[in-house]
A and B are shown apart, each in its own frame.
Chain A
Amino acid sequence: MRFIIVTGTPAAGKTSVMMHTIRHLLTEGLKVAACKIDCLETSDDRRYRSLGIPVAVGLSDYFCPDHFYVANLEEIFSWAEEQEAEILVLETAGLCHRCAPAVDGCLSICVIDNLSGIDTPRKVGPILTTADIVAVSKGDIVSQAEREVFRRKVEMVNPRARIIELNGLTGQGSLRLKKEILESSPVNRIEGKELRYSMPAAVCSYCSGETIIGSTYQMGNIKKVDFGRKSSG
């Protein structure tokens, strides 16, 4: 089974991009399953279900969605095997710039949009720097010049990635993404594989329900702002 991890910034068009791509895969007669990880609520499962494929949803609720994701990878893998899927598309919540869901041996796709601003590639972090493929969306509504600048900024933070410009409305570019998925290697098991980058750390009093502000109420793994830091802007 090919295990495809889809990450990206909020509202960049992760689901739209994958819907077009999955349609191409289905046309080739491949069996695809999709799983969506989110926090409190999602409607992306309905969109995936409209393709007539098996869909699972994991809502992390009070948990960091990235930690929730990694703690469930084995179960998600087994579920997709039970569905006899040849390709599993796992879409992460895509919320925090410190998310790091990429796994060695699994194709990792980061969806990011031209409208998010040219500083975004530098700020995004592991979802972009560890991606195999960067799908850049919403290029149809910004100038050619900005598309070129944005693309270069992506290359600067991840020179290894293949960049695909994709239109989530029309699906233009999704054939190339389909090709990349077909060329990726299948994995036999997910257990024992390694994250490409450590997850954001947590375990402080706020993780376990504390709501009051102030150092007295803080325990565990706490990091404070360094006000001496020079702006790098």
Chain B
Amino acid sequence: MVKKINILAGQDKSANLEVIEMLEVQAGEILAVVGPTGSGKTQLISDIEQYAAGETPSRRHVLINDLAAGDYDGQLSFRRLVAEVSQNMNFVIDMSVEEFLLMHAQIREIDRPEIVTKEVIKVTNELAGEPVSKQDNITVLSGGQSRALMVADVALISNAPVVLIDEVENAGINRLQAMSFLAGQGKVVIVVTHDPMLSLMADKRIVMKNGGMLKLQETTQEEKTVLKQLIEVDQKLSILRDNIRQGGSINKETLREGELL
């Protein structure tokens, strides 16, 4: 069981020692990785995924439950440390949702695959905007449905202890709910994002710059309060979004009615 992951500092792109010497994330915690494009977010994730031991360009070391990759001596109980859900990913297998989940559960040697399959579909439907049925072909699911199914599958079938959510768009999936669901399963949840809501939803955030870990910021109580307001604004925005989707038009009056002005 993974209880925590530590990342020991390496160097930034200019070979300077990183400002943050050690980053610790515990199971059930959510960490946001923020910073401009090219700031090193992907390398940080890649280091965790590869269980880096000083050999990657960043020279970082990753510890799991205080042990380095070498200490495990190949006896790692998990195949893959990081399960990922990103906007680029698709399902390419031509079969129904149910058949696919059963196959995945069987391959993972899970007892009673039928029960976990039902559970995954139930969670998918809690996260997705439009319902998914077990008979649906997995390749024809919408973007939001696919993302919701990926999250539910990662949470309940995959055994990877770390889950990475990479730039998942807001359309058709409740991301905040997805993140708290994953964290509730005892996963280490890492979310790479430019979105203020997702950043504040996290317990803490690491700010990247020039390839290095620049600042570690715990989410403050005030930010948690602000988050609630942001969620309200977002809900108002989604009313506008639905209005446009259904053929409506937007003017200053609609904005006033929606309390956005």
Contact = CB atoms under 8 A, between A and B. Distances in A.
B46 A144 contact: no
A144 B158 contact: yes
Contact of B93 (A144, A146, A172, A176): A146
B153 interface: yes
Given A148-B104, A149-B103, A151-B79, A141 B49 contact: no
Contacts, number: 68
Contacts of A149: 93, 103-104, 107
Interface of A: 114-115, 117-118, 140-149, 151-152, 165, 170, 172-173, 175-176
**Chief secondary structure at chain B's binding surface:** mixed
Contact of B50 (A117, A140, A173): A173
Interface residues of B, number: 31
Contacts of B103: 149
B125 interface: no
Contact of B89 (A140, A170, A175, A176): A140
B63 interface: no
Q: Which 10 A-B pairs have the closest CB atoms?
A: A152-B107, A144-B83, A145-B104, A145-B153, A143-B150, A143-B89, A172-B46, A143-B91, A141-B88, A144-B154
A73 B4 CA distance: 50
Contacts of A140: 84, 86, 88-89
Interface in B33-51: 42, 46, 49-50
Contact of A142 (B79, B90, B154): B90
A175 B55 contact: yes
Given A143-B85, A175-B56, 14 more contacts: A118-B93, A140-B88, A140-B89, A141-B88, A142-B92, A143-B89, A143-B91, A144-B150, A144-B158, A145-B154, A146-B93, A148-B104, A148-B108, A175-B55
